Amino acid sequence: MTVALDTDIKRLSGVGSAVGARLQKLGITTVGSLLYHFPRAYEFRGNIKTVASAEDGETASFVLTVTAPPTYAKTRSGLMIFKVPAGDGTGVCTVTFFNQAYIKNTLIAGVSYRFYGKVSRHGKHVELHSPVYEPYSETLLPLYPVYPATEGFSSVRINKLVSAIIDRADTVIPENLPAEVIEAERLMSRTEAIRTIHHPSSLEAIADAKRRLAFEELFGFALNARRQRKTEDGLPRAPFHKCDCSAFKNAVGFEFTNAQKRVMNEIYADLTSEDGRAPMRRMVSGDVGSGKTVCAQFAAYVAAENGYQTALMAPTEILARQHYEDCKKLFSALGKTVCLLVSDIPAKKKNEVFECLASGECDLVIGTHALITDKVNFKNLGLVVCDEQHRFGVGQREALLKKGEGSHMLVMSATPIPRTLALVLFGDLDVSVIDEMPPGRRTVRTAYRDEESRDKIYDFIKAQVKEGRQAYIVCPGIEETEDDGLIPLEALSADFSPDSYNKQVKKRKAAVNYAETLSTEVFPDLRVGYLHGKMKGVQKSAVMKAFERGELDILVSTTVIEVGINVPNASVMLVEDADCFGLSQLHQLRGRVGRGKYASYCILMANDPGQNAVSRLKIMERENNGYKIAEFDLKQRGPGDFIRDNGEKIRQHGALKLRMAGALDDAQLLYRAFEWAEKYTSEDGNAARIFN
Burial 89-124 (b: 16+ CB within 10 A, else e): eebebbbbbeebeebeeebeeeeebbbbbbbbbeee
Would you give the binding string for ligand ADP spanning residues 358-397, x where CB under 6 A is met? ----------------------------------------
Give 290 or 504: the residue with its C-beta nearer to ligand ADP.
Answer: 290
Angle between helices 583-590 and 626-637 (to 10 degrees): 150
DSSP-based three-state secondary structure for 591: coil
Q: What kind and span of H or E run contains 108? A: none
Residue 286 as a binder of ligand ADP (CB under 6 A): the answer is yes
Nearest to 225 by CA among 630, 633, 642, 690: 690
φ/ψ (deg, to 5) at 150 = -140, 165
Q: What share of the chain is helix, strand, coil (3-state, %, to 5)?
A: 40, 20, 40
The least CB distance from residue 303 to ligand ADP, in Å, is: 18
Minimum CB separation of residue 595 from ligand ADP in Å reads 10
| Nearest distance, CB of residue 291 and ligand ADP, angstroms | 3
| Residue among 245 and 505 whose Cβ is closer to ligand ADP | 245
CB of 551 to ligand ADP, least distance (A): 27
- Contact between 291 and ligand ADP by CB under 6 A: the answer reads yes
Burial class (CB in 10 A: 0-12, 13-18, 19+), 49: middle
Residue 349 to residue 42: CA distance in whole angstroms: 57
Helix/strand/coil (H/E/C) assignment for every residue in 321-367? HHHHHHHHHHHHHCCCCEEEECCCCCHHHHHHHHHHHHHCCCCEEEE
Give the nearer residue to ligand ADP in terms of CB position, either 123 or 440: 440
Residue 434 Cβ vs ligand ADP, minimum distance, rounded to whole Å: 7
Asked if 92 and 54 touch (Cβ cutoff 8 Å), the reply is no
Should residue 591 be labelled a site residue for ligand ADP when binding is judged by CB under 6 A? no
Nearest to 544 by CA among 516, 566, 524: 566
Q: Does 594 bind ligand ADP (CB under 6 A)?
A: no
Q: Which is nearer to ligand ADP, 258 or 481 (CB)?
A: 258
288 or 358: CB nearest ligand ADP = 288
Compare residues 11 and 249 and give the one whose CB is closer to ligand ADP: 249
Site for ligand ADP in 12-31 (CB under 6 A): none
Instruction: Mark the segment that binds ligand ADP (CB under 6 A) among 289-297, 333-341, 506-514, 562-570.
Output: 289-297
Instruction: Please report which helix (H) or strand (E) contains residue 401, including its range.
Output: helix 394-401
Query: How far is the C-alpha of 524 from the C-alpha of 530, rounded, in Å?
Result: 15
Q: Pick the closest to residue 625 from 592, 591, 599 (CA basis).
A: 591
Contacting residue, 103, 288, 546, 565, with ligand ADP by CB under 6 A = 288
Backbone angles phi, psi at 671, to 5 degrees: -65, -40
Nearest to 590 by CA among 617, 610, 614: 617
Site string for ligand ADP, 434-473 (x = CB under 6 A): ----x-----------------------------------
CB of 260 to ligand ADP, least distance (A): 6
Closer CB to ligand ADP, 388 or 428, in the complex: 388
Compute CA distances 125 → 54, 95, 685, whole Å.
10, 11, 69
What b/e sequence results for 496-522 when a residue is b if at least 16 CB atoms lie within 10 Å of its CB, and e otherwise? eebeeebebbeebbbbbbbbeebbeeb
Smallest separation (angstroms) from ligand ADP to the CB of 384:
17
# of chain residues touching ligand ADP (CB under 6 A): 15
Burial class (CB in 10 A: 0-12, 13-18, 19+), 334: middle
Question: Smaller CB distance to ligand ADP: residue 106 or 258?
Answer: 258
CA-nearest of 584, 665, 668 to 631 is 584
The alpha carbons of the chain give a radius of gyration, in whole angstroms, of 29
Nearer to ligand ADP, 289 or 550 (CB): 289
144 SS3 class = strand
Which listed range, 196-204, 282-290, 519-527, 572-580, lies at the site for ligand ADP (CB under 6 A)? 282-290
Q: How far is the CB of 332 from ligand ADP (least distance, A)?
A: 16
| CB nearer ligand ADP, residue 368 or residue 504 | 368
Is the Cβ of residue 388 or residue 678 nearer to ligand ADP in the bound state? Answer: 388
* Mask for 292-311, x = binds ligand ADP (CB under 6 A): xxx-----------------
Alpha carbon distance 286, 275 (integer Å): 29
Alpha helices, H only, 450-579: 454-466, 498-506, 511-517, 537-548
Alpha-carbon distance of 386 to 398, in angstroms, equals: 11
Tell the smallest beta-carbon distance from residue 290 to ligand ADP (Å): 4
Q: Does 511 bind ligand ADP (CB under 6 A)?
A: no
Give the burial class of 678: count Cβ atoms within 10 A of its Cβ; 0-12 exposed, 13-18 middle, 19 or more buried: buried
Least distance between ligand ADP and beta carbon 588 (Å) = 12
Rule CB under 6 A: choose which of 87, 289, 488, 550 binds ligand ADP.
289
Which residue lies nearer to ligand ADP by CB, 286 or 640? 286
Which CB sits closer to ligand ADP, 292 or 672? Answer: 292
564 to 583, contacts with ligand ADP by CB under 6 A? none
Q: Which is nearer to ligand ADP, 291 or 638 (CB)?
A: 291
Q: In this chain, which stretch among 200-208, 284-292, 618-626, 665-673 interacts with ligand ADP, using CB under 6 A?
A: 284-292
The mark string for 237-266 relative to ligand ADP (x by CB under 6 A, - otherwise) is -----------------xxxx--x------
81 vs 288, beta carbon nearer ligand ADP: 288
Q: To the nearest whole angstrom, how small is the minimum distance from the Cβ of residue 34 to ligand ADP?
A: 44
Part in contact with ligand ADP (CB under 6 A); list of ranges 41-49, 66-74, 123-131, 291-299: 291-299
Q: Are strands 112-122 and 59-66 parallel, antiparallel or unpaired?
A: antiparallel
Between 286 and 639, whose beta carbon lies closer to ligand ADP?
286
Residue from 155, 290, 432, 600 that binds ligand ADP (CB under 6 A)? 290
CA distance 300 to 363: 8
Stretch that binds ligand ADP, among 36-44, 100-108, 286-294, 329-337 (CB under 6 A): 286-294
Closest residue to bound ligand ADP by CB: 291
Smallest separation (angstroms) from ligand ADP to the CB of 210: 36
Residue pair 403/330 in contact (Cβ under 8 Å)? The answer is no
Judged by the rule CB under 6 A, the positions of this chain that interact with ligand ADP are 254-257, 260, 286, 288-294, 414, 438
